[in-house]
Amino acid sequence: MRLLDPRGHHPAREVVTEKVFADINGVRQGMFIQRADPGRPVLLFLHGGLPEYFLTDRYPTGLDNDFTVAWWEQRGAGLSYSPAIPTETMTAEQFIADTLSVTDYLRNRFDQEKIYLMAHSGGTFIGLQAAARLPEAYHAYIGVAQVVDQRKSETLAYEYMLERFRQDGDRGMARRLEAAPVTMEDGPPRRYLAVRDRAMHTLGVGTTRDMNSVLRGVVWPSLLSPRYTLAEKARLWRGKRAAGVSALWDEMLATDLTERVPELAIPAYFFHGICDHTVSYELAKAYAEKLHAPLTGFYTFYQSAHSPLFEEPHKARRIMRDDVLTGTINLADG
């Protein structure tokens, strides 16, 4: 399926969006590919807990001005959801293998020896490990809201939110959090996860600073998106529901990436919103400072929570164009 992108940012240029399906390690998986020129550098985007391409209608990133962007929807998510996918394959190791296979698909299709790898939120848990596994396939790795030690991140977020609600006099929310404590020993209980998103969006530390409702901010935009068929929209949310019981979340909570990936053989760039408590800003910054890589840049987005690519797209695009594409870190935090 080919669609002219109505958001082309340059009047002399057509940005074409293709909905593509390919066999990735035995599973039919889909992606949207945006391109104006097949010769442009290729950027593979790994989403977090939910595919994010539909959000670009509301939050245009401008990445398609400088890259051929592949918005891949991973195994079990969105275009790639199927109830026939074996649950035992929903593991970090399988997702890493899928990422490397999609990488090869894009390298071959666009005849490029290397591509760029960008990951967001939960996708960074997979993307960082994929980049470490096959560095020769990538020019650079870009982690947006980089997961490092999610068990510790959830503990820090819980403590922060509980204190904020107590200070703000929101006794109801404070009591709900007090009834479901998060600790390093036990991790986040289900009762906490049931209130977590609402609590974060109430405080402006969740998906975006201004998103106070998942229904209005995410669900409705997905259902109104012209990019998906009705059946694909249903699969988007069936996949999201199934992901909540997958082994991947447990793997993420049990892993400290400072120990698993202490070094990277390619340049690494980290974008993080200072208001983000979905994934800890402090832990990501500390990781970037310790990571052994040819080049490491950490970029604080001062007007963002968990989605700096959507909240501050002009800043993100400038970094991509002026630092990432040139292999420098001139715009990184001092």
* Per-residue model confidence as pLDDT tens digits over 19-44: 999 999 999 999 999 988 878 999 99
Contact 288, 271 (CB under 8 A): no
Domain boundaries, the chain: 2-148+220-324, 152-212
Angstrom distance (rounded) from CA 247 to CA 274:
29
Q: Give yes or no for residue 319 having a pLDDT over 50.
A: yes
The pair of three-digit structure tokens given for residue 129, joined into one six-digit string: 């490990």
Most confident range, picked from 10-14, 53-57, 142-146: 142-146
Angstrom distance (rounded) from CA 234 to CA 300:
36
Angstrom distance (rounded) from CA 286 to CA 306:
17
Tens of pLDDT along 209-259? 998 878 888 888 889 899 999 999 999 998 888 776 567 889 999 999 999
Return the percentage of the chain with pLDDT > 90, whole number. Answer: 82
Q: Give yes or no for residue 68 having a pLDDT over 80.
A: yes
pLDDT given for residue 241 in this prediction = 80
Angstrom distance (rounded) from CA 182 to CA 191:
10
pLDDT given for residue 5 in this prediction = 46
Rounded to the nearest 10 degrees, how much is the dihedral formed by the CA atoms of 110, 114, 115, 119? 140
pTM (whole model) above 0.75: yes
State the average pLDDT over residues 276-300.
98
Cross-strand pairs, 42? 68
The pair of three-digit structure tokens given for residue 5, joined into one six-digit string: 């992108």
pLDDT given for residue 13 in this prediction = 64
Exposed/middle/buried for residue 225 (C-beta within 10 Å: 0-12, 13-18, 19+): middle
Task: Name the more confident of 58 and 149.
Answer: 149
Angstrom distance (rounded) from CA 294 to CA 275:
28
16-24 vs 27-35, strand pairing mode: antiparallel
Angstrom distance (rounded) from CA 45 to CA 41:
13
The pair of three-digit structure tokens given for residue 131, joined into one six-digit string: 């980049």
Residue 81 DSSP one-character state: -
For 52-67, letters b (16+ CB in 10 Å) and e give bbbbbeeeebbbbbbb
User: Residue 199 phi/psi, 5° resolution?
Assistant: -65, -45
Angstrom distance (rounded) from CA 53 to CA 59:
10
Neighbours of 173 (CB within 10 A): 19
pLDDT given for residue 11 in this prediction = 44
| Helix orientation angle between 171-178 and 150-168, rounded to the nearest 10 degrees | 150
Q: Give yes or no for residue 264 having a pLDDT over 90.
A: yes
Tens of pLDDT along 164-179? 999 999 999 999 999 9
pLDDT given for residue 244 in this prediction = 61
Tens of pLDDT along 90-133? 999 999 999 999 999 999 999 999 999 999 999 999 999 999 99
Angle at 50 between CA 246 and CA 78, to 5 degrees: 90
Exposed/middle/buried for residue 334 (C-beta within 10 Å: 0-12, 13-18, 19+): exposed
Amino acid at 171: R
pLDDT given for residue 240 in this prediction = 86
Residues 6+ apart with CB under 8 A from 123: 45, 46, 47, 48, 74
User: What architecture is the 2-148+220-324 domain classified under in CATH?
Assistant: 3-Layer(aba) Sandwich (3.40)
The pair of three-digit structure tokens given for residue 204, joined into one six-digit string: 């402006």
What is the average pLDDT value for the chain, to the nearest integer? Answer: 93
Q: Give yes or no for residue 1 having a pLDDT over 70.
A: no
